Amino acid sequence: MREITELCKRRGIIFQSSEIYGGLRGAWDFGPLGAALKDNVKAAWKRHMIQLRGDVVQLDASVLMHPRVWEASGHIENFTDPLTECRTCNARFRADQVTQGDASTYECPRSDYSLCEFGEPRQFNLLFQTHVGPTQESGSEVWLRPETAQAMFVDFAHVQLTSRQKVPFGIAQVGKSFRNEITPRNFIFRVREFEQMEMEYFVRPGTDEAWHEYWIKHRWDWYTRYGLRAENLRIRPHASDELSHYAKRTVDVEYRFPFAWSELEGIANRTDFDLGAHAETSGKDLTYYDGERDERYLPYVIEPAAGVDRAALAFLIDAYRDEQAPAAKGGTERRVWLQLHHALAPVKVAVLPLSRNEKLVPTAREVADLLRPRFPIEYDDAASIGKRYRRQDEIGTPFCVTVDFETVEDDRAVTVRDRDTMTQERVAIDQLSTYLDERLDLTP
């Protein structure tokens, strides 16, 4: 984790929020490359959850919702974690994640674990509250959404009618969620502000269990398609005492993070709990009329709920390579590189003139201009070529294109270096786009 965190900081991928003020716990900023990585994760999700299907439509709902949404959904009552406080130093922890005196489960601020004495846990609500309007009186409270899902239930009838989808169908949303986590930790794994990619798939009651299985497999395939190794993934069913108040059955897709196997995504059978609760609280009819079966019912819901930040972290960790470069390829030098799936790599091609020599620059710029409309590229002419390769390796750029003196004086060709094999090939500039098109796997 330390190596990943340092790499992210060094290359401006992810760093502390408000760093010049000492940072804010549980808040991180995604720099230029991190923002591109996140965009790519979201695009990959939308591609397989929406674009390649005909039965899932997108929603982009407001973060602030009517306060009664959270009453109906049960969040005001149930969205809690057990909080325990150490009687001797007053530090607070999530009671279900720590074992008193066990240094591997928490950080004692005084580092003297023998003195810790955890008090009785009490339930702590994770909702962030704020107020709408110019006064802070009661009645003006609203909550920052802790999940994107509720908008899909509240807007269900409207979206179904206007999109003319028939059950089974889904509504998908990618957006920010907020949770006042007791102990944010493990870099971007547990933060207080994060992005979710959630899809509510509405099905006829009785078909829910089969659809649940379908989505578990679909989501597993998505993670492996974009490069996570199967041996680092597992499916873990929730025990009955772990199930959320709305769920009939939930499984987590877990990733072998360096700190422990931990949740990447939850896939829940939410039954008709949410539609039922909103129908009752709002007094609106949220049933669905199934014309083919001449039946009216409240659909059941299967929900694959993933986190953008956690997925990005898992992709980074899984792609991380720290190796000795093979002797034949330039000696015994250490090479740190990210073997990111091409579709996720923030930069697809780097254009590198061998030096800043004035003979090389115009051609190098011409090559950059040729590629820029096709792929996210980076043009870099600073420092030695070895250093620039190292930088591109560390940010996972699949191909580096080098413009040298032969290019301008002789063959109008460039050297293309493959990140994974480190092999180099000479390619004519007028063949370069086709060459890269054939090798870049951007739409798996």
Q: Residues in the site for ligand ATP, rule: CB under 6 A?
A: 147, 179, 181, 190-191, 194, 196, 263-266, 305-307, 309-310
Shortest Cβ 264–ligand ATP spacing (Å):
6
308 is in an annotated binding site: yes
**Minimum CB distance to ligand ATP smaller for 267 or for 343:** 267
**Minimum CB distance to ligand ATP smaller for 265 or for 272:** 265
- Tokens 């649940």 belong to which residue? 212
Phi-psi region of 438 (alpha: psi -120 to 50; beta: other; left: phi over 0): alpha
The DSSP letter of residue 431 is G
305 is in an annotated binding site: yes
Q: For residue 376, give every residue at least 6 positions away whose Cβ sits within 8 Å of its Cβ, in sequence order, or none.
A: 36, 346, 347, 348
**Minimum CB distance to ligand ATP smaller for 8 or for 360:** 8
Amino acid, res. 234 = R
310 is in an annotated binding site: yes
Shortest Cβ 178–ligand ATP spacing (Å):
9
From first CA to last CA, the distance across the chain in angstroms is: 28
Please state the separation of Cα 416 from the chain's center in Å: 31
d(CA 443, CA 434): 16
d(CA 362, CA 54): 47
Shortest Cβ 395–ligand ATP spacing (Å):
23
191 is in an annotated binding site: yes
**For residues 444 and 225, is the Cβ–Cβ distance under 8 A?**
yes
**Minimum CB distance to ligand ATP smaller for 84 or for 196:** 196
d(CA 394, CA 397): 8
Query: Which two three-digit tokens encode residue 30?
Result: 């995604």
- For β-strands 193-203 and 233-237, DSSP reports them as unpaired
Which residue number places its CB atom closest to ligand ATP?
307
Shortest Cβ 440–ligand ATP spacing (Å):
28
d(CA 280, CA 284): 7
d(CA 245, CA 179): 18
Give one DSSP letter per residue of 201-264, joined into a string.
EEE-TTSHHHHHHHHHHHHHHHHHHTT--GGGEEEEEPPGGGS-TT-SEEEEEEEE-SS-EEEE
Shortest Cβ 49–ligand ATP spacing (Å):
14
Map residue 115 onto helix, strand or coil.
Answer: helix
Shortest Cβ 213–ligand ATP spacing (Å):
18
**Minimum CB distance to ligand ATP smaller for 306 or for 316:** 306
196 is in an annotated binding site: yes
**Minimum CB distance to ligand ATP smaller for 174 or for 360:** 174
d(CA 367, CA 399): 14
**Minimum CB distance to ligand ATP smaller for 244 or for 363:** 244
15 is in an annotated binding site: no
**Minimum CB distance to ligand ATP smaller for 268 or for 400:** 268
Shortest Cβ 259–ligand ATP spacing (Å):
12
Shortest Cβ 73–ligand ATP spacing (Å):
12
195 is in an annotated binding site: yes
- Binding site: which residues? 94, 147, 179-181, 189-198, 263-264, 303-310
- Binding site for ATP: which residues? 179-181, 189-194, 263-264, 307-310
- Binding site for substrate: which residues? 94, 147, 194-198, 303-307
